[in-house]
């Protein structure tokens, strides 16, 4: 019997036969699920039966992944997977990222249009729609989507995309001011997780870097840029990464030469990083100065603290002399006002 329908064919089994074959393909109209019962009767009319379930389906599925698109870039960690599975009559499940089961819904008929060209129909007919939102860390992602039929057949594809929720880092240091010609030379350092940087000054783009490879890596770039401070001494810089995250930095450059003081009069509790020195109050409130302190520490560069009128210590707790400091320091007080200290 197949699905409780008794077949007309009867097999006469010769004595002592241990196994035999019976082709039932002609009784199965299409792929699907069939309950097959085999009944055996001996000469004494003793009966026995065994029932099995057979599931037939196409070997390969058609997987149409509409979201995320190939090499899409997301500035959120929650990414929606949405697509369709066709050519399977009995879809069992869709597995995303090797372990997450998607929600599925059978649709009797659908016209699927190309995600980049809505005028092009790429499939028409019955399909299973699947959806699932997954959460990812920042970075390059390669995620497998696998469709599995109730017959045990399966097929899969891999989708590649990027997640970047972290704003880029922007540091701007005034390296030199020409008070005669009223220009200033800036050293601009930019960092991002995914290797793309676009720097704007007001509404004008002044720099762009694009990583040339598919699997991108974090990038750090530094440039020197000269600004004219004769008519305007306030500047707004905006750094944009590939996901559209932005970091905005405002700098104001004094047109007048800063006051010059001897290095010995550097205030107590000053933190010294390279050729810059910070009041602790300014350091606690200024993110750019904090990033520089963190970078100096991570790179093992020298960090000094003036702990009393005549004592300077390094970050390791050892004593240092004024001779170890640069010949010139630009000091930022708690309000960001600058003073030059020289030996």
Which residues in 136-210 belong to E strands, given as ranges? 139-149, 154-163, 169-178, 183-192, 196-201, 204-210
Q: Kindly report the average pLDDT of the chain as a whole number.
A: 88
Q: pLDDT, tens digit, for every residue of 70-88?
A: 999 999 999 999 999 999 8
Same fold, 62-163 and 169-252: yes
Reported as half-sphere exposure (CB side, CA atoms, 13 A), residue 235 has a value of 26
Poorest-confidence range of 17-21, 84-88, 216-220?
Answer: 17-21
Better-predicted residue by pLDDT, 35 or 201:
201
d(CA 44, CA 335): 108
Q: Residue 157: which of 112, 115, 76, 95 has the closest Cα?
A: 95
State the pLDDT at residue 168.
95
State the pLDDT at residue 7.
67
How far CA 8 is from CA of 5, 24, 27, 54, 333, in Å, comes to: 10, 11, 11, 20, 100
Q: pLDDT, tens digit, for every residue of 133-171?
A: 999 999 889 999 999 998 888 999 999 999 999 999 999
What number is the average pLDDT over the span 196-215? Answer: 89
State the pLDDT at residue 286.
87
Two tokens at 133? Answer: 């939102």
| Annotation: CATH topology of 169-252 | Immunoglobulin-like (2.60.40)
Q: pLDDT, tens digit, for every residue of 325-341?
A: 999 999 999 988 889 99
d(CA 147, CA 102): 10
State the pLDDT at residue 164.
94
Map out the domains of the chain as residue ranges. 1-56, 62-163, 169-252, 260-342
Q: What percent of the chain has pLDDT over 90?
A: 62
Poorest-confidence range of 62-66, 230-234, 254-258?
Answer: 254-258
Instruction: State the CB neighbour count (10 A cutoff) for residue 116.
Output: 8
pLDDT at 319 over 80: yes
Q: pLDDT, tens digit, for every residue of 45-65?
A: 777 877 766 666 677 899 999
Architecture of domain 62-163: Sandwich (2.60)
State the pLDDT at residue 39.
74
- SS3 state at 9: coil
pTM (predicted TM-score): 0.68
User: Residues with Cβ < 8 Å from 212, sequence gap 6 or more?
Assistant: none
pLDDT at 216 over 60: yes
pLDDT at 24 over 70: no
Residue 186 pLDDT class (50, 70, 90 cuts): very high
């Amino acid at each position: 019997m197949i699905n409780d329908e008794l077949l007309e064919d009867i097999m006469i089994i010769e004595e002592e036969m241990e196994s035999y074959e019976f082709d039932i393909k002609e009784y199965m109209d299409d792929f699907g699920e069939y309950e097959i019962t085999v009944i055996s009767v001996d000469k004494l009319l003793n009966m026995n039966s065994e029932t099995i379930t057979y599931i037939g389906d196409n070997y390969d599925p058609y997987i149409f992944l509409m979201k995320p698109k190939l090499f899409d870039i997301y500035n959120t960690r929650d990414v929606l997977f949405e697509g369709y599975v066709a050519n399977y009559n009995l879809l069992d499940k869709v597995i995303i990222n090797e372990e997450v089961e998607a929600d599925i819904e059978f649709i009797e008929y659908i016209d699927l249009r190309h995600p980049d060209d809505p005028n092009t129909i790429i499939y028409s007919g019955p399909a299973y729609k699947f959806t699932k939102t997954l959460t990812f860390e920042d970075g390059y992602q390669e995620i497998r989507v696998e469709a599995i039929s109730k017959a045990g057949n399966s097929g899969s594809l891999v989708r590649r995309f990027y997640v970047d929720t972290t704003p880029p880092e922007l540091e701007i240091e005034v390296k030199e001011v020409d008070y005669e010609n009223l220009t200033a030379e800036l050293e601009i350092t930019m960092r991002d997780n995914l290797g793309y940087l676009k720097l704007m000054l007001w509404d004008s783009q002044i720099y762009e870097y694009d990583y040339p490879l598919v699997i991108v890596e974090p990038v750090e770039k530094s440039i020197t840029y000269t600004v004219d401070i004769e008519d305007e001494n306030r500047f707004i810089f905006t750094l944009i990464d590939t996901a559209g995250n932005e970091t905005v930095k405002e700098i104001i450059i004094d047109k007048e030469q800063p006051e010059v003081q001897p290095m010995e009069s550097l205030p107590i509790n000053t933190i010294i990083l390279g050729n810059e020195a910070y009041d602790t109050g300014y350091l606690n409130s200024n993110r750019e100065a904090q990033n520089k302190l963190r970078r100096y520490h991570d790179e093992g560069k020298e960090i000094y603290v003036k702990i009393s009128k005549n004592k300077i210590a390094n970050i390791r707790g050892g004593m240092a002399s004024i001779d170890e400091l640069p010949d010139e320091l630009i000091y930022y007080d708690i309000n960001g006002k600058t003073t030059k200290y020289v030996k």
